Amino acid sequence: MGKFHDILKEYWGYDEFRSLQEEIITSVYEGKDTLGLMPTGGGKSLTFQVPTMLMEGICLVVTPLIALMKDQVDNLKKRGVKAAYIHSGMSRQEILVALDNCIFGNYKFLYVSPERLTNELFLAKLPHLNVCLLAIDESHCISQWGYDFRPSYLRIAELRNYLPDVPALALTATATPGVIEDIQEKLQFKEKNVFKKSFERENLAYVIRETDDKLYEIIHILSKVPGCAIVYVRSRSRTKEIAQELQRQGISADFFHAGLTSDEKIRKQNEWKNGKCRVIVCTNAFGMGIDKPDVRLVIHFELPSSLEEYFQEAGRAGRDGEKAYSIALFSQRDVTQLKKRIKDEFPEREFIKDVYEKLAYFFQIAINTGIDTGHNFHIERFCAAYHYNIKHVHSALKILDLAGYIAYVEDTDKQSKLMFTIERDELYKFSSFSETIENLIQVVLRSYTGLFSEYIHINETLLAQRTGMDALQVYDVLKMLSAQHIIHHISRNLWRPFPRNIEATFCSGIASGSFRTQ
């Protein structure tokens, strides 16, 4: 239909749809429940964004990926389209404002995490939203046969009872025949309706290469294959190390990870997308929602956690249909580390159950209380209290989050940062500091490294605990030192004395004091 092409050109600047996009859009626009299977890079988001622009009302998009929500909402806003999101990391007031904006502000898209669907506040506002389309991303999560089953996705079927005449568009990149059937059944499709695109990428070559010197191999590959590249690693520190080494070799490179500020992320993304930077060295925090068609190389310095993750990241190469390469590097040491990683990231059931119970004790949550409450959570204190390994606890919390018992949100954008603006030797020349200020400075220096060369994320609450001060006093002293140009202190939440760098919000289940199995 011509009107679909008009919208595509007006808002996204494209002249033609990719394979299968227009067929799915037509099906959705005609009010049919639709399941679209499209590989990574196939342009899934346009299949609900384009028809919504021609429909009366708002599209409700369900996705478990907070990073994707933010990227897509930002991209829509840049195109002059009103969009918002709500997720478990937001306060009740923030959610209320977002919902009211969608009701009264002529918004076209609202992105929601599946855990929010049965929230009392959300359900109270739902009848006033004028939903015209329900889009479910990562829809394989609703199937118990899928590789990433999430119980919270089952709530989407309940949502359809509130929206009986609203068509549903389910999207996923991978699904077996059994999962395809299960998705349509669980989402209560009025009739079966599947569009499937071939996952074969003839222009993309997959290469697995064994090497004991990965950095040399990356430099060698970059010298042989011209064009834009992504290098994936698994640790934040390594992103910077490798980027700096590539720069020393005369290769334009930068690094990216979740610990950067929003401004830093945007700047680095834009410089890479605009061709000012050839290589971006990053963790898996990079790439979600970023559609750059001319990536010629995706190199995995370290192996990702799953084949699905590898397939998704590798698929970011060659989206323009031209020749591209996905290269995974490995050594025998990686094989040993991968086995250890599996043990660390998937702790025993009894350990997960024990962490679940200890959380209730830690926050003093009694039986049948605590549902939908938020708590500032400092994993170091929790592990010290119960003699746990931090890495194992972190993995257990992620699994509990995935299963829907808690919402565990790590939002580094809400962390404060600090850097000394004077040299270390100059700091010791100050003799006018009170005992309180001097004590705080010493604790800061003992708690964090690298403060004289770059911004470091800090936790004011932890500093308060270690100094015997309260958080407000710590905040005031840091503000005073910043005013004296001794440090530069950036507080992420100026309206409160300390940030929520990690928040654990308890959902139904934790309040019962028992461990539910699926």
Residue pair 40/311 in contact (Cβ under 8 Å)? The answer is: yes
- Work out the mean pLDDT of the chain and round it to a whole number: 83
Give, as one character, the DSSP assignment of residue 91: -
Q: What is the pLDDT of residues 338-361, one digit of tens each?
A: 788 788 888 999 999 999 999 989
Q: What is the pLDDT of residues 129-176, one digit of tens each?
A: 999 999 999 898 888 666 567 777 888 888 888 898 999 999 987 788
Same domain, 173 and 248: no
φ and ψ at 489, to 5 degrees? -115, 120
Structural domain includes residue 446: yes
- The CATH number of the domain where 370 resides is what? 1.10.10.10
316 exposure class (CB count in 10 Å sphere: 0-12, 13-18, 19+):
buried
Structural domain includes residue 517: no
Same domain, 215 and 187: no
Q: What is the pLDDT of residue 147?
A: 59
Domain count, the chain: 4
Same domain, 32 and 119: yes
- The CATH number of the domain where 181 resides is what? 3.40.50.300
Structural domain includes residue 495: no
Reported as type and span, the H/E element at residue 170 is: strand 168-172
335 exposure class (CB count in 10 Å sphere: 0-12, 13-18, 19+):
exposed
Same domain, 350 and 333: no
Same domain, 246 and 153: no
Q: What is the pLDDT of residue 460?
A: 79
Which of the listed residues 129, 163, 196 is the one where a domain comes to its end?
196
Same domain, 136 and 218: no
CA distances from 91 to 23, 94, 277 (A): 39, 5, 37
Instruction: Look up the domain containing 242 and give its range.
Output: 204-337
Q: What is the pLDDT of residue 409?
A: 63
Same domain, 320 and 371: no
Which of the listed residues 337, 364, 383 is the one where a domain comes to its end?
337
Same domain, 219 and 124: no
**How far is 113 from 172, CA to CA, in rounded Å?**
16
Instruction: Quickly state the pLDDT bin for 288 (edges 50, 70, 90).
Output: low
Q: What is the pLDDT of residue 391?
A: 85
Instruction: Quickly state the pLDDT bin for 374 (edges 50, 70, 90).
Output: low
CB atoms within 10 A of CB 175: 22
Structural domain includes residue 496: no
- Percent of the chain at pLDDT exceeding 70: 88
**Residue scoring higher pLDDT (18 or 7):** 7
Tell me the whole-structure pTM to 2 decimals: 0.58
Place of tokens 């520190």: 237
Residue pair 42/20 in contact (Cβ under 8 Å)? The answer is: yes
What's the chain's Rg over C-alpha atoms?
24
- Percent of the chain at pLDDT exceeding 90: 39
Maximum Cα–Cα distance for the chain, whole Å?
A: 78
Which of the listed residues 131, 166, 196 is the one where a domain comes to its end?
196
- The CATH number of the domain where 429 resides is what? 1.10.10
Which of 147-151, 279-283, 304-308, 444-448: highest mean pLDDT?
Answer: 279-283
Q: What is the pLDDT of residues 204-248, one digit of tens each?
A: 999 999 999 999 999 999 999 999 999 999 888 899 999 999 999
Instruction: Quickly state the pLDDT bin for 40 (edges 50, 70, 90).
Output: low
Same domain, 459 and 439: yes
CB atoms within 10 A of CB 459: 22
Same domain, 45 and 150: yes
* Averaged pLDDT for residues 410-435: 73
Same domain, 353 and 305: no
**How far is 507 from 509, CA to CA, in rounded Å?**
6
First to last CA, the chain: 45
Same domain, 106 and 239: no
Structural domain includes residue 18: yes
Side chain identity, residue 207: V
CA distances from 259 to 179, 402, 405 (A): 35, 22, 26
Which two tokens mark 165? 């005449």
What is the SS3 assignment for 109? strand
